Structure formats: structure tokens, C-alpha cells
């Protein structure tokens, strides 16, 4: 049995691993297994002799013969024409608080219509969404949800933005891009949640149509990226630099994993680099690790480790440093760097109090960077 037939058979037999939508969306859209994938032409590839292609969307630059797929599993060479298999194929669609992404300085207190397709261009040993990111599109339930339908659903559910999230939106680039264009036409913003493995040209084009990007910076050592991410640190840093140089709002999340990327010297190097390359106003979230996927051998991050990381980043001059996945911790709140008053009080994804006036501290008038309205 060839690979394609095996996958079709597996999908038909109900090998369905995908994360499901919220009940409201379950009523609206029929999520189900599908061998009916898209064949929309990919936007960043080069044709090579003998019907080969080179994908130039992400730093892997996969070179593929006819019928082969790239590392991400969602792009295929069909007789020298390179296609995306997941255009309009949402394997997850939910209405989430924007704080869940997390974005803390981007439209706080609003909801974001959050979509994903299958696949990813790295393989993190600690992935939280491996059921959809580390599988082929045939292996997840998905709904046919074209860009205009995503926008309509976002408007209908009262969302202020659309988030491209859960898996890795770089691998569903064309779907994300067209949805962002359609969203902007209808007054909705777009927020990208990514690992940052993307080449400069597609990234610069994307930055023209989206409003915010959150990058998961998974460590500040290349060895960690090679061993636990199956990726590289350098292109992620280049992507952060490119985003910071543009007009799009940027936040960074650093998942602190005990013994692997929690050395204060590494945190200090990272914080110093962020300050110099992206500026001191970029919010940095130190997020608590929970054991999962292929990394169940380590305990959750001690809160004291997160607090130490935060203290180091503040010492290095970062002005907005948060602790995530620790409900009720004071470092969920936004504090004015001018007068020290608490301006935004949060509890997990809830905004308990928002005390800003025209993007400024109402007490000392210090400007608080972000997208507030
Ligand atoms: S997007 Fe996918 S196919 Fe393209 S280079 Fe990256 S991993 Fe390879």
C-alpha cells in the first residue's frame, strides 16, 4: 500500500486526533475527517529542473521531488507545482480571550477568533498542541472555513481580532495571509502566534497585513533549539529583529523549562539581546512549563525560578516582564514603569481592572506602549 492510500484509509477508518472546536462552533460548522485537502498554489517556492521544487517559506528550505511533502507535512509537490494542502482547512476554531495567546498590550479584554490548520515546521519535545501540530492534515478533523467565512464567524461572535495560533501559522501562510486581508477590510485585526521560523521575504509581506505577532522564543542557546525543538535559534532572532523594526505590535513568550533553559546567565543574555534588538518596551512573558508530550520527565517550573528570571530581565532594563501560567501571581499585572502603580489587573485570562487613559498612566501620564483601542 503506498503512503497516500494508507493515509486515506487511516482517515476513513476514523484515525482522528484533532483538537475540537467550542460547542457553539460545532453547531455552526461540520468538523470531520477529510481526505479532501486543498490544492491552492503555494506562494514561496522555486521551480527546479526535473519537476523538483524548493520551498522558501521557512529556513528549512525543503527541496522536494514530485509527490513529496515538506518537513511540515502540509505542502506537496504535484508535478512541479507546489501546493498547500490546508488552505481553508481549519482543524480548530475557538473564541478565546486575547490574553490567552498571550497578548497583554494588544486590545486587552477583547476576544479573538482563533484558528489553526494541521502541521508545524519544528518538533518541540514539549509541544502543548502536538495532536494537531505534529500530524498530517489527513489525521485531524477539520472544517472547510475559507477566509471570508472566518471573518464572518469572528464578526458574528463579537471578536475584535482573528488569531492564527495553536499549531504553527507559518505552515498555513496563504490561508493566514488571505484571512488577514479579508479581516482588515471588515475592521478586524489579526494576531499571529508563531515560533518565528520564517524567511524574511514572506515575513515582511505578512507584516503588511497583520497587526500583532507573538513569538515563542524557546531558549537562548542554539544547542537547545537543535535538541529539543529540531530548529535553529538564529532565524528566530532574525525574525524578531524584523518584526521589531516594523509597525506591528510584538510580544515574546519564553517558556521556562527546569534545568534546560532556566540558567540565569542564559536569561540575562536573552533579556539583554531583546532590549538591544527589539527595545525595552517589548513585553516578555516567562511562562510556567507543565510536563507533556515527550517531556513528562520534568516537573512544572518552580514559581521561584520564574520570579528569578523576571528579576534578571528587569535588571537588564526590560520594562514589562510578566509571569504566565501561575494564576493569581502579581506579575500577571501591568505596572506603570513611571510611578509603580498597577494599571491593569489580571487573573489568568480575565481583566479585573484596566486603568489607562489614552494609552497613558492616569496618575503620572507615562505612556504605556501597546495597542489599546
Ligand atoms: S514551510 Fe514546510 S515545506 Fe516549506 S521549507 Fe518550511 S518545513 Fe519545508
Q: How far apart are CA 196 and CA 233, in angstroms?
A: 9
Q: Domain for residue 357, yes or no?
A: no
Tens-digit pLDDT profile for residues 261-290: 999 999 999 999 999 999 999 999 999 999
* pLDDT value of residue 275: 98
Report, as an integer, the average pLDDT of 221-239: 98
Report, as an integer, the average pLDDT of 365-373: 97
Q: Domain for residue 232, yes or no?
A: no
The CA 299 to ligand 1 mean position distance, Å, reads 33
pLDDT band at 36 (very low <50, low <70, confident <90, very high): confident
Q: Which residues of 212-229 are buried (b: 16+ CB within 10 A; e: fewer)?
A: bbbbbbbbbbeebbeebb
Q: Domain for residue 143, yes or no?
A: yes
* pLDDT value of residue 34: 54
pLDDT above 80 (res 116):
yes
pLDDT above 60 (res 341):
yes
**Beta-strand relationship, 89-90 and 81-84:** unpaired
* pLDDT value of residue 359: 97
Ligand 1 pocket member 121 (CB < 6 A): yes
Mutate to test the pocket of ligand 1, among 45, 48, 52, 62 (most ligand atoms within 8 A of CB): 62
Count how many domains the chain has: 1
Task: Report helix, strand or coil for 347.
Answer: strand
Ligand 1 pocket member 62 (CB < 6 A): yes
Tens-digit pLDDT profile for residues 2-26: 333 333 333 332 222 233 444 445 5
Supply the mean pLDDT for the chain: 92
pTM of the model: 0.91
Ligand 1 pocket member 171 (CB < 6 A): yes
The CA 308 to ligand 1 mean position distance, Å, reads 37
**Beta-strand relationship, 189-194 and 212-216:** parallel
Ligand 1 pocket member 60 (CB < 6 A): yes
The CA 53 to ligand 1 mean position distance, Å, reads 11
Residue whose C-alpha cell reads 537543535 in the numeric block? 226
* pLDDT value of residue 250: 98
Q: How far apart are CA 222 and CA 291, in angstroms?
A: 22
Q: Domain for residue 4, yes or no?
A: yes
Tens-digit pLDDT profile for residues 97-108: 999 999 999 999
Report, as an integer, the average pLDDT of 350-363: 97
Q: Domain for residue 64, yes or no?
A: yes
Q: How far apart are CA 204 and CA 206, in angstroms?
A: 5
Inter-CA distances, 219 with 3, 42, 145, 193, 268, Å: 35, 30, 34, 17, 12
Secondary structure E strands in 150-240 = 161-164, 189-194, 212-216
The CA 278 to ligand 1 mean position distance, Å, reads 26
- CA atoms in the 13 A half-sphere facing the CB of 198: 29
The CA 52 to ligand 1 mean position distance, Å, reads 14
* pLDDT value of residue 201: 98
Residue whose C-alpha cell reads 477566509 in the numeric block? 147
Q: How far apart are CA 283 and CA 105, in angstroms?
A: 8
Q: Rounded to 5 degrees, what are φ and ψ at 68?
A: -90, 155
Please answer whether residues 310 and 323 qualify as being in contact, where contact means their C-beta atoms are separated by less than 8 angstroms.
yes
Q: How many CB atoms lie within 10 A of CB 238?
A: 18
Q: Domain for residue 338, yes or no?
A: no
Report, as an integer, the average pLDDT of 210-231: 98
Contacts of 265 (CB under 8 A, 6+ apart): none
pLDDT band at 33 (very low <50, low <70, confident <90, very high): low
Q: Rounded to 5 degrees, what are φ and ψ at 78?
A: -115, 95
Higher pLDDT, 67 or 2: 67
* Rg (the chain; Cα; Å): 20
End-to-end CA distance of the chain: give it in Å, rounded: 56
**77: Cα separation from own chain's centroid:** 26
- CA atoms in the 13 A half-sphere facing the CB of 254: 33
Residue count of the chain, please give it: 373
Ligand 1 pocket member 42 (CB < 6 A): no
Report, as an integer, the average pLDDT of 282-304: 97
pLDDT band at 318 (very low <50, low <70, confident <90, very high): very high
* pLDDT value of residue 19: 39
Q: Domain for residue 110, yes or no?
A: yes
**93: domain range?**
1-183
Higher pLDDT, 28 or 83: 83
Q: Domain for residue 302, yes or no?
A: no
Q: Whose CA is nearest to atom 5 of ligand 1?
A: 61
pLDDT above 60 (res 128):
yes
User: Could you give the percent of the chain with pLDDT greater than 70?
Assistant: 91
Amino acid at each position: 500500500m503506498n503512503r497516500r492510500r494508507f493515509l486515506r484509509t487511516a482517515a476513513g477508518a476514523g484515525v482522528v486526533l484533532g483538537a475540537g472546536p467550542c460547542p457553539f462552533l460545532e453547531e455552526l460548522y461540520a468538523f470531520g475527517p477529510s481526505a479532501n485537502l486543498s490544492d491552492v498554489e503555494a506562494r514561496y517556492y522555486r521551480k527546479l529542473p526535473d519537476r523538483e521544487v524548493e520551498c522558501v517559506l521557512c529556513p528549512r528550505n525543503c527541496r522536494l521531488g514530485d509527490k513529496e511533502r515538506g518537513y511540515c507535512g502540509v505542502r506537496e509537490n504535484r508535478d512541479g507545482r507546489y501546493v498547500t494542502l490546508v488552505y481553508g482547512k481549519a482543524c480548530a476554531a475557538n473564541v478565546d480571550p486575547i490574553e490567552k495567546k498571550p497578548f497583554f498590550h494588544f486590545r486587552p479584554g477583547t476576544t479573538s477568533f482563533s484558528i489553526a490548520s494541521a502541521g508545524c515546521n519544528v518538533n518541540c519535545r514539549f509541544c502543548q498542541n502536538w495532536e494537531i501540530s505534529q500530524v498530517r492534515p489527513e489525521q485531524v478533523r477539520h472544517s472547510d472555513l475559507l477566509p471570508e467565512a472566518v471573518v464572518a464567524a469572528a464578526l458574528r461572535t463579537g471578536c475584535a481580532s482573528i488569531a492564527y495560533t495553536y499549531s504553527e501559522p507559518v505552515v498555513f501562510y496563504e490561508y493566514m495571509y488571505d484571512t488577514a486581508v479579508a479581516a482588515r477590510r471588515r475592521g478586524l485585526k489579526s494576531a499571529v502566534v508563531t515560533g518565528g521560523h520564517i524567511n524574511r521575504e514572506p515575513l515582511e509581506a505578512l507584516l503588511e497585513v497583520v497587526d500583532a505577532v507573538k513569538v515563542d522564543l524557546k531558549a537562548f542557546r542554539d544547542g537547545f533549539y537543535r535538541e529539543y525543538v529540531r530548529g535553529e535559534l538564529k532565524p528566530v532572532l532574525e525574525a524578531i529583529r524584523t518584526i521589531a523594526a516594523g509597525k506591528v505590535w510584538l510580544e515574546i513568550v519564553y517558556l521556562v523549562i527546569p534545568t534546560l533553559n532556566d540558567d540565569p546567565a542564559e536569561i540575562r543574555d536573552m533579556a539583554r539581546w531583546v532590549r538591544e534588538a527589539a527595545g525595552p518596551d517589548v513585553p516578555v512573558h516567562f511562562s510556567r512549563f507543565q510536563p507533556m508530550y515527550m517531556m513528562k520527565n520534568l516537573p512544572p517550573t518552580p514559581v521561584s525560578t520564574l520570579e528569578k528570571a523576571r528579576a534578571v530581565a528587569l535588571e537588564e532594563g526590560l520594562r514589562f516582564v510578566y509571569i504566565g501560567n501561575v494564576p493569581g501571581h502579581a506579575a500577571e499585572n501591568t505596572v506603570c514603569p513611571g510611578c509603580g502603580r498597577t494599571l491593569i489587573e489580571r487573573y489568568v485570562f480575565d481583566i479585573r481592572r484596566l486603568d489607562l487613559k489614552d494609552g497613558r498612566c492616569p496618575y503620572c501620564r507615562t505612556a504605556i506602549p501597546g495597542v489599546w483601542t
